[in-house]
């Protein structure tokens, strides 16, 4: 944009919000630095035009259209011959592309499939011997989930049935959290800072609780024993709502903690450029303090990565334990 002097250009202002949300949000390419990014596959199913598969590099970082499609605010939309967005045609697009988050989920899955079968194999080969290598690193965590989470929340008699789920949940959340802390490829994707990811994890908890809930659990949901009928008119809807609110709280807790941590860390980092836009000297001065806070937030987020994996797994185990717990009368009859 010309400012009245030939050859001079107005300098674009640094947009901290755009930087932060661009890091938190999903994208169709893996941004590395500047205009350089690693292209990812675009896979579209258009109910009118069929299947289309091509590289995200065709969109030239959202500056160009390809095959009647273009990127607009991070979403693939249909465009007409003049390059204008066709709202009606865009409604027919199903975007099943391999985005940054999808790629990261696949990477976490591959890591899980490589690490844990190898650890299980080492257990069989070294049965009765002291753990060694990766086995010695993971064994204390596995025992912690078994002894302090599963047994305590579900009980000695029924915890084994849910151990595969609890271990998978703990490690997949932990791996996603840790991968998001790596500032360069293939890290940097804030998976647990994506509400769709935490929603899926919460729905799995809801299904496990619903399908494993015994008669004692469901009687307390729909008709709590010993409560007058007129009170049940109020209590039963509250209990049913609570059944859905518990996994909803899990979803929000995990999403908010991880997203907020990344936002705060990036905000401190952005201060360098915000103050640097006013004065180079001020920018250099602020950079020292800003980097110190950024490093502090990194280590805090490292701690939060473990804590949130534990909290989600522990609360899920508590909900499962409440669903499979036998009534006191049934327990006394078994004694």
| Interatomic CA distance for residues 197 and 104, integer angstroms | 12
Whether the pLDDT of residue 12 is over 70: the answer is: no
Put residue 61 in one of left, alpha, beta given phi > 0 → left and psi -120 to 50 → alpha. left
CB atoms within 10 A of CB 85: 13
Residue 328 scores a pLDDT above 80: no
**Residue 70 contacts residue 62 (beta carbons within 8 Å):** yes
When pLDDT is cut at 50, 70 and 90, the band that residue 22 belongs to is: low
Cα–Cα distance for residue pair 30/101, rounded to 1 Å = 10
Closest by CA position to 205, among listed 160, 259, 168, 260: 168
Integer angstrom CA distances of residue 184 from 7, 37, 202, 246: 36, 12, 29, 35
Q: What is the pTM of this model?
A: 0.84
How large is the angle between the packed helices 280-324 and 229-276, nearest 10 degrees? Answer: 160
189 CB-near residues (< 8 Å, 6+ apart): 26, 100, 101, 103, 104, 179, 180
> Band of the pLDDT at 333, cuts 50, 70, 90?
very low
- 48-52: which pairs have CB atoms within 8 A and are 24 or more residues apart? 48/89, 48/92
Window from 83-92, 106-115, 208-217 with minimum mean pLDDT: 83-92
**Six-digit token string for 145:** 């989930």
> What integer pLDDT is reported at residue 5 of this predicted model?
45
Q: Render pLDDT for 158-199 as a digit per residue (tens, 0 to 9).
A: 899 999 999 999 999 999 999 888 877 777 788 888 888 999
**Is there a contact between 105 and 191 (Cβ–Cβ < 8 Å)?**
yes
**305: nearest Cα among 150, 125, 108, 148:** 108
């Amino acid at each position: 944009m010309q400012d009245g002097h030939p050859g001079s250009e107005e300098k674009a202002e640094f947009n901290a919000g755009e930087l932060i949300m661009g890091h938190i949000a999903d994208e169709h390419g893996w941004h590395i630095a500047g205009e350089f990014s690693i292209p990812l596959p675009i896979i579209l199913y258009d109910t009118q035009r069929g299947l289309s598969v091509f590289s995200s590099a065709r969109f030239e970082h959202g500056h160009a259209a390809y095959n009647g499609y273009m990127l607009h605010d991070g979403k693939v939309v249909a465009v007409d011959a003049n390059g204008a967005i066709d709202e009606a045609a865009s409604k027919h697009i199903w975007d099943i592309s391999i985005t940054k988050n999808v790629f990261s989920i696949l990477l976490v899955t591959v890591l899980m499939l490589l690490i844990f079968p190898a650890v299980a194999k080492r257990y069989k080969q070294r049965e009765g011997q002291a753990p060694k290598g990766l086995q010695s690193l993971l064994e204390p965590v596995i025992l912690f989930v078994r002894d302090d989470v599963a047994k305590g929340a579900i009980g000695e008699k029924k915890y084994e049935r849910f151990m595969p789920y609890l271990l998978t949940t703990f490690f997949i959340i932990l791996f996603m959290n840790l991968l998001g802390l790596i500032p360069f490829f293939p890290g940097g994707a804030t998976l647990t800072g994506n509400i769709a990811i935490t929603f899926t994890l919460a729905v799995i908890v809801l299904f496990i609780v619903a399908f494993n809930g015994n008669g004692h659990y469901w009687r307390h949901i729909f008709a709590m024993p010993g409560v007058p009928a007129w009170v049940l008119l109020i209590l039963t809807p509250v209990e049913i709502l609570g059944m859905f609110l518990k996994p909803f709280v899990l979803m929000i807790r995990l999403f908010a903690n991880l997203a907020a941590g990344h936002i705060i860390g990036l905000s401190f980092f952005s201060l360098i450029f915000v103050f640097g836009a006013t004065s180079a000297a001020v920018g250099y001065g602020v950079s020292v303090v800003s980097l110190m806070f950024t490093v502090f937030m990194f280590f805090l987020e490292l701690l939060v990565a473990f804590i949130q994996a534990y909290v989600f797994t522990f609360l899920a185990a508590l909900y499962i334990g409440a669903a499979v717990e036998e009534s006191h009368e049934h327990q006394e009859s078994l004694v």
